[in-house]
């Protein structure tokens, strides 16, 4: 049996519902070919988080990024996406 791909999910707390829904759906599929790495910040920002996050990212095969208001803001500012 092939090893599952490890997927990192990046999101802002406002998008937690979308992340939770994605994880829920994947967990209900018995044959999902991936596992998620959760690095959500649940406490006050800790400078060690960035170092820990980087080490988790290095062990992943891909990243899913939820971005919402940031895209609109970037477009309004004329910043390429």
| pTM of this structure | 0.61
Kindly list the domain boundaries of the chain, sorted by start residue.
16-76
Residue of 19, 2, 5, 7 lying closest to 66 (CA atoms): 19
- pLDDT for res 8: 83
Mean predicted confidence (pLDDT) in 51-64: 79
Give the separation between CA 18 and CA 69, rounded to whole angstroms.
14
Per residue in 46-55, pLDDT (tens digit) is 677 667 777 7
Residue of 35, 37, 36 lying closest to 54 (CA atoms): 37
- pLDDT for res 1: 52
The answer to whether 37 and 9 are in contact (CB under 8 A) is: yes
Give the separation between CA 19 and CA 34, rounded to whole angstroms.
15
Quote the mean pLDDT of the chain: 76
pLDDT of 44 above 60: no
């Amino acid at each position: 049996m092939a090893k599952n791909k490890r997927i990192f999910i990046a999101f802002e707390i406002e998008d937690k519902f979308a992340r939770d829904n994605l994880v829920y759906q994947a967990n209900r599929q018995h044959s999902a070919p991936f596992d998620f790495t959760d690095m959500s910040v649940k406490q006050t920002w800790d400078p060690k988080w960035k170092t820990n996050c980087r080490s988790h990212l290095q062990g992943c095969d891909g990243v899913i990024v939820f971005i919402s208001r940031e895209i609109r803001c970037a477009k309004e500012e004329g910043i390429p996406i």
